Amino acid sequence: MTSRELGLPMQVASPEPGELPAAVTIWEVGPRDGLQNEKEIVPLDVKLEFLHRLADAGLGVLEATSFVRPEWVPQLADAAELLAGLQRAPGVRYPVLVPNSRGLDRALESDVRDIAIFASATETFTRRNLNRGLDEQFAMFEPVVRRAVEEGLTVRGYISMCFGDPWEGPVPVEQVVSVGRRLLEMGCDQLSLGDTIGVATPGHVETLLRAFGTAGVAVDRLGVHFHDTYGQALANTYAALRHGVSTVDSSAGGLGGCPYAKSATGNLATEDLVWMLDGLGVKHGVDLTKLVETSVWMAERLGRPSPSRVVRALAS
Amino acid sequence: MTSRELGLPMQVASPEPGELPAAVTIWEVGPRDGLQNEKEIVPLDVKLEFLHRLADAGLGVLEATSFVRPEWVPQLADAAELLAGLQRAPGVRYPVLVPNSRGLDRALESDVRDIAIFASATETFTRRNLNRGLDEQFAMFEPVVRRAVEEGLTVRGYISMCFGDPWEGPVPVEQVVSVGRRLLEMGCDQLSLGDTIGVATPGHVETLLRAFGTAGVAVDRLGVHFHDTYGQALANTYAALRHGVSTVDSSAGGLGGCPYAKSATGNLATEDLVWMLDGLGVKHGVDLTKLVETSVWMAERLGRPSPSRVVRALAS
């Protein structure tokens, strides 16, 4: 099955900058990116109910879990059990993060059809995250992507630290574009441009997106992934939509990191995104009421309130 | 003294939509709009230190207090004492909200040079707030504005409920433009377009701003005033900046209402705005470190953390 048949918006003409897309694919990362930093292990049945409720709320892409080594991310050590217990809703995609060939084996054993790999735009973060250099990361991903494509999977390439890096400061857009092009040439269907530490602002977003356009990358190959550390996530998303981006990562209830800590790494809340898309008249397919109910339910499981403004306003 | 001599950006050519202004005037509303709903009376010396610290942090417009009747807003009953004790920093403006002729008398006695009046875009809210109809509000403001202009004061016209109203739903842009034009014709120097209940989204903002342009109102007569009830305040601000708006209301630390209540009426946090402006390369004159220190200090006085993401990220 190709990415086109799976409904990925791969061959749509790029809109002019300034036009909004008619519809947006919300790439829900709460079950994976949102939960992976939770210290206390969330029970398997809670994770499954979370995924089932998100699908019922109309989300069409649910990044379900990760096949990283369990000792690295204990929270997601139950990936195989989760996928075995998951009732996959018709038309919903359940991508899974896959770090290496062993992870791909496990994903294939679990009948995963969409995977994501996690690359970085900076030398320092690549070294810290993968224990290898910026260029060396491609050697690690290449066999994974090749085999995934052969198996008919879709492959998303996350690029972390696309705007700033805690050690290197601002990241040159050329460097991000270079990493992105190599991932696409390798066989990735789509990139997710991540502001891992939340330092992006809308002008920087536009500059990066324009640089990808200049390098010949169609805007429909690009997703955006913002964190709300400095409150910029939704403004950045709006800038990306204005540029024609139609895939946006977000996390139900803003799950991900603690909003009260220094490294406040909360993701853009899906509810706040949905509120904006509704106002803009951009289609998304999500039932906001069901989504808010799900986030309130999950917040009770985790024992702390959702940082999403919409959840707080609608649920209180 | 005219508004021009006071440095209001009144006669700058309107930029094309899509251009960012080179500089933004941040209209700091924390001391008035931020504090007015605080249940516990903030001591006068705390209010004064707040204003002195905000001026020291580089904010050039500080809405200091309000001459509403003390029984309506007990928190601001000390307006005359506050203005008597205030050490006015050179070049800083300290506008004061003035509801009626009696309020203007009191403002003039306190040597106020800039006032603001508080109009509404909807019939229901005007009735509830002023106990008169949408059109009747002008009869109330007219003598106040006329005399203020004669006295050489600048007059800002707030328009509340510019996007949605809890009783009437979405507010027609023509209605907002009509109210705004009447306020300008009456002698107001500038309008502040308020999203009192936080329901605006960026496309609605652009539509309203375009409608003012079509009606012949220059964009430099318009300020924007967003609340973050649904997390949209900064995205809305970005849309307004893209349209050429160069006066933005915000509140240090996001003061104003309780972010955890249903009617979460928190203002856009000045720190989150400053972060975005820095990223966009738009000048603002504020020292972010001093501002964050001030908001942390004020949060300690109020006994609860600031809802500003930037304050939380930088102060922890």
Tens of pLDDT, residue by residue over B62-82, are 999 999 988 889 999 999 999
Q: Does B90 lie at the interface with A, CB-CB under 8 angstroms?
A: no
Q: Does B91 lie at the interface with A, CB-CB under 8 angstroms?
A: no
Name the nearest CA neighbour of B38 among B244, B245, B298.
Answer: B298
Percentage, residues of chain B above pLDDT 70? 91
What percent of chain A is helix, strand and coil (3-state, nearest 5)? 45, 15, 40
> What does the buried/exposed string (b/e) look like for B235-263 if buried means 16 or more CB atoms within 10 Å of the residue's CB?
bbbbbbbbbbbbbbbbbbbbbbbbbeeee
Percentage, residues of chain B above pLDDT 90? 81
Give CA–CA dist B60/B57, Å, rounded.
9
**A193-238 tens-digit pLDDT:** 999 999 999 999 999 999 999 999 999 999 999 999 999 999 999 9
Give CA–CA dist B163/B184, Å, rounded.
19
Q: Which of the residue ranges A34-43, A259-268, B124-133 has the most confident prediction, judged by mean pLDDT?
A: A34-43
Give CA–CA dist A105/A113, Å, rounded.
12
For chain B, positions 191-220, list CB contacts with chain A under 8 A.
Answer: 198-204
Q: Which residues of B are catalytic?
A: 258
Q: Is the pLDDT of residue A12 over 50?
A: no
Does the global pTM surpass 0.90?
Answer: yes
For residue A82, the SS3 value is helix
Q: Do the Cβ atoms of B154 and B115 come closer than 8 Å?
A: yes
Q: How many angstroms away from the CA of B254 is the closest CA of chain A?
A: 11
Residue B37 is predicted with a pLDDT of: 85
Choice among A185-189, A262-266, A279-283, B278-282 with the minimum mean pLDDT: A262-266
Residue B18 is predicted with a pLDDT of: 62
Q: Do the Cβ atoms of A24 and A242 come closer than 8 Å?
A: no
Chain B contact set for A201 (CB, 8 A): 275-276, 278-280
Read off the pLDDT band of A18 (50, 70, 90).
Answer: low
> DSSP of B171-218, one letter per residue?
PPHHHHHHHHHHHHHHT-SEEEEEETTS---HHHHHHHHHHHHHTT--
Cross-chain residue pair B201–A239, CB shorter than 8 Å: no
**B48-67 tens-digit pLDDT:** 999 999 999 999 999 999 99
Q: Is the pLDDT of residue A141 over 70?
A: yes
Task: Sort B13 into a burial class: Cβ within 10 Å, 0-12 / 13-18 / 19+.
Answer: exposed
Residue A10 is predicted with a pLDDT of: 29
Q: Do the Cβ atoms of B63 and B116 come closer than 8 Å?
A: yes
Give me the residues paired with residue B27 across strands.
Answer: B61, B249
Q: How many angstroms away from the CA of A316 is the closest CA of chain B?
A: 5
Q: Does A123 lie at the interface with B, CB-CB under 8 angstroms?
A: no
Chain A contact set for B264 (CB, 8 A): 309, 312-313, 316
**Extents of the domains making up chain B:** 25-315
Q: How many angstroms away from the CA of A41 is the closest CA of chain B?
A: 26
* For range B300-314, the mean pLDDT: 92
Q: Does B275 lie at the interface with A, CB-CB under 8 angstroms?
A: yes
* Minimal Cβ distance to B238: which of A238, A308, A310: A238
Q: Give the DSSP letter of residue A259.
A: T
Quote the ipTM score: 0.90
* Minimal Cβ distance to B280: which of A203, A279, A281: A203
Residue A265 is predicted with a pLDDT of: 62
* Minimal Cβ distance to B228: which of A237, A238, A309: A309
Mean pLDDT of chain B: 91
Q: Does B227 lie at the interface with A, CB-CB under 8 angstroms?
A: no
Q: How many angstroms away from the CA of A282 is the closest CA of chain B?
A: 10
A25-315 CATH: 3.20.20.70
Q: Does A275 lie at the interface with B, CB-CB under 8 angstroms?
A: yes
Cross-chain residue pair A279–B308, CB shorter than 8 Å: no
Helix orientation angle between A288-302 and A44-56, rounded to the nearest 10 degrees: 170
Give CA–CA dist B295/B307, Å, rounded.
10
Active site residue A258: yes
For chain B, positions 229-268, list CB contacts with chain A under 8 A.
Answer: 229-232, 234-235, 237-239, 259-262, 264
Q: How many angstroms away from the CA of B193 is the closest CA of chain A?
A: 18
**A268-299 tens-digit pLDDT:** 999 999 999 999 999 999 999 999 999 999 99
Chain A contact set for B279 (CB, 8 A): 199-204, 232
Q: Does B16 lie at the interface with A, CB-CB under 8 angstroms?
A: no
Chain B contact set for A204 (CB, 8 A): 279
Cross-chain residue pair A272–B231, CB shorter than 8 Å: yes
Chain A contact set for B203 (CB, 8 A): 20, 279-281
Q: Parallel, antiparallel, or unpaired: how do β-strands B61-62 and B65-66 relate?
A: unpaired
Q: Does B286 lie at the interface with A, CB-CB under 8 angstroms?
A: no
Cross-chain residue pair B232–A272, CB shorter than 8 Å: yes
Residue B195 is predicted with a pLDDT of: 95
Q: How many angstroms away from the CA of B268 is the closest CA of chain A?
A: 10
Q: How many angstroms away from the CA of A222 is the closest CA of chain B?
A: 21
Chain B contact set for A173 (CB, 8 A): none
Residue with the bigger pLDDT between B127 and A284: it is: A284
Mean pLDDT of chain A: 91
> Cβ contacts of residue A182 below 8 Å, gap of 6+?
A138
Strand order in the sheet with A96-97: A61-62, A25-28, A247-250, A222-226, A190-195, A154-160, A114-120, A96-97, A65-66
Choice among A69-73, A101-105, A245-249 with the minimum mean pLDDT: A69-73
Chain B contact set for A272 (CB, 8 A): 230-232
* Minimal Cβ distance to A234: which of B235, B269, B281: B235
* For range B205-222, the mean pLDDT: 97
Chain B contact set for A304 (CB, 8 A): none
* For range B107-136, the mean pLDDT: 93
